[in-house]
Every structure is written in structure tokens, then in C-alpha cells.
Amino acid sequence: MDTDKTTTPEAGAAMESKDDTESFTKVKSKKSQKRKREQDGADMDTEGPVASKRPQFPPISSDKLRGPTEMRKIPVPAHRYTPLKENWLKIFTPIVENLQLQVRFNLKTRNVEIKTCKETEDIASLTKATDFVRAFILGFQVEDALALIRLDELFLESFDVTDVKPLKGDHLSRAIGRIAGKGGKTKFTIENVTKTRIVLADTKVHLLGSFQNIKMARTAICNLILGSPPSKVYGNIRVVASRTAERF
């Protein structure tokens, strides 16, 4: 009887291993999961794209778009009072007649104030007029600054000579002299090749032009500040300008 109840150690180990296999769950490999995901994605692609309608909104009327009147103030430094007074009619006419804005020079605060009114049709006109007046106050000619009103892709950019290289004393004067050149020759050459306008005001450099042209002019000016000879800068500008002309 005892021999029937007793089990061999081999049989007991086999039963334990069987129980272990039943208690553990089989983990799927990552490859099989990835394969299944790809198949699901392929099935979804075969179903075709879901037709989604683009929402259509009616155009907003100009009365609702106008909103409250906005005002911009442009401070005028003391050395620009006389040029502003002499060219006031040239500045006043395009802002009032073409952009349908109101403009005045506040004698107390020494600011040029530009304001929208009922006749203003385009909201962007205020920004254009502000850039136009700011360009003139920075030192650009009225004819050059007028291009900011007529064209949309023109920008103003300003930087300091000391931002490129911390120069002092005679070194700073020589760097400004290299940018201007003898009788302004270097500055005029950069302007003509890059189709930009440049104003040198003490250590400040102001650029007016399109984004790509400003980038070319800024690179040339920075090279001059860092000490490159003008002849080398001319060559680099002409190469870049010819490439951009071919590209367009």
C-alpha cells in the first residue's frame, strides 16, 4: 500500500514544472507587436481617408474689424526737429491721403502721434505709417522711407558697432571709417550691390531693405568691423549677390 502512495522524485518535479508553466502568462515579443501594429495601420489605410469638411466662415465686415481707435507715438530726438519741420508736408501727405490716418506732432511730449479714424480701411496702415516715420527719424531720406508704405516686404534693422566687436577709442573710429570709406564710397558700394539703404549715426548702423538684402549688407558691415579689407568684402558681396540673382 505504501508503495502505491509514494511517488518518485522525477514525477514530482514534472508536476511542479507543469504547474509553473500554467501559472505564468506568455509574453508577446516586441517584433510580433510591431508587426501587428503595421498590419492594423495598413488595414486603416485601405479603408480610405475620412472626408472632413473645411469650415467656412463668412467674411467679417469692416465695422467689426475696425474696433477702437489705436494710436502710435514715435519719439523725435532733438537733432531731427529741423529736418522733420522742413519735410513735414512730404511726411504728412502720404499718411493722411493714402493711408487714411490722422497724424500730428505733439510739441509738449516731442512725439509724432499717428491715430486711426473712421476712414481707415486697412489695419496694417498704422504699422506702415509708424515704420515710415521711424525710418525718417533714424536718418533715411523721405523718398527711401516711402518705400515702406508702398512695398510690404521691406524692413528696418538697427545694431551697434560695439555689438559686433567691443571696440573703444581710435579702434572704434577706424571701424566706423572702414564702413563709410573715403567720401562714403564703401557705404555706397554696399548699398548698390545689396539694394539696401544704410545710415551711419555715431556707433549705430541702420539698414532698410528686404530680409535677404539686409542679411547680405549686415554680413558685409560686420566683416568690415572685424577688420576685413574693403576689396575682399566687395568680392564676397558680389559673389553672394550674383548667386541670389541666379536663384530668383
Q: Give me the DSSP letters along 39-98.
A: HHHHHHHHT-----PPP--PPPPHHHHH-S--EEEEE--GGGHHHHHHTHHHHHHIIIII
Q: Which residue has the higher pLDDT, 138 or 228?
A: 138
Q: Is the pLDDT of residue 5 over 90?
A: no
Closest by Cα among 129, 137, 142 to 89: 142
Q: What is the mean pLDDT of residues 196-216?
A: 93
Mean pLDDT score of the chain: 82
Looking at residue 64, its pLDDT comes to 63
Most confident of 52-56, 154-158, 229-233: 154-158
Looking at residue 15, its pLDDT comes to 58
Q: Is the pLDDT of residue 39 over 90?
A: no
CA distance 160 to 169: 15
Instruction: Write the pLDDT tens digit of every residue in 71-85.
Output: 999 999 999 999 999
Most confident of 6-20, 78-92, 226-240: 78-92
Looking at residue 56, its pLDDT comes to 84
| Residues in Cβ contact with 181 at an 8 Å cutoff, skipping those fewer than 6 apart | 187, 188, 189, 230
pLDDT category at 43 given cuts 50, 70, 90 is low
> Of the ranges 13-17, 88-92, 104-108, 224-228, which one carries the lowest mean pLDDT score?
13-17
Q: Is the pLDDT of residue 1 over 50?
A: no
Looking at residue 246, its pLDDT comes to 76
CA distance 133 to 122: 18
Q: What is the mean pLDDT of residues 211-240?
A: 88
The partner residues of 114 in beta bridges, in order of sequence, read 72, 103
Closest by Cα among 220, 204, 211, 89 to 152: 211
CA distance 80 to 24: 87
Q: What is the mean pLDDT of residues 154-181?
A: 92
